[in-house]
Amino acid sequence: MNFGKNNAVIIVIEIIPYESRYQPDFKRMNLEWLDKYGLTESHDLEILDHPEETVIAKDGKLFLAKDEEAIIASLGIARVDKDSFELIKMYVDPAYRGRGIGKRLLELCIAEVKKAGAKKLILFSNSQLTNALTLYKKYGFRHVEVKGTPLVTADVKMELSI
């Protein structure tokens, strides 16, 4: 634990690449918000149960945010085709929201898409997730027609030109 001015506790959040030992945390966190909004689908469960096979082995990446040993956030990119990636599984623990963790993860994912030479980053979401949609808009994502999603509950599609 670090202490700053006036003995205030400074929390250092570390962003790390996904490792298989964190799969239970990755699944638990994402099921929390999916279940809360009634959005859990078989496609989500496939990713949450098998992230190495469904995302990482297919040229995607997953990132986690860590406070000491606790995993508190996630975000990833899944390869769609040669020119595009999909942003997937954004979650920040409610106790850590408002601290810029989601922004850090989003900026890292955008940088990874650029580094991979892709031209577009897409995402599918649901209109109930207003905080996430507001964040995406701040980063330049724009609404497009909802098509090409395996998710029945996805009523929002956004894309960012890279």
Contact 47, 88 (CB under 8 A): yes
Contact 90, 68 (CB under 8 A): no
Residue labelled with tokens 């980063």: 139
Q: In angstroms, rounded to a whole number, what is the distance separating the alpha carbons of residues 141 and 145?
A: 13
Q: What is the pLDDT along the chain (162 residues), one digit of tens a residue?
A: 454 556 566 678 999 999 999 999 999 999 999 999 999 999 999 999 999 999 999 999 999 999 999 999 999 999 999 999 999 999 999 999 999 999 999 999 999 999 999 999 999 999 999 999 999 999 999 999 999 999 999 999 999 999
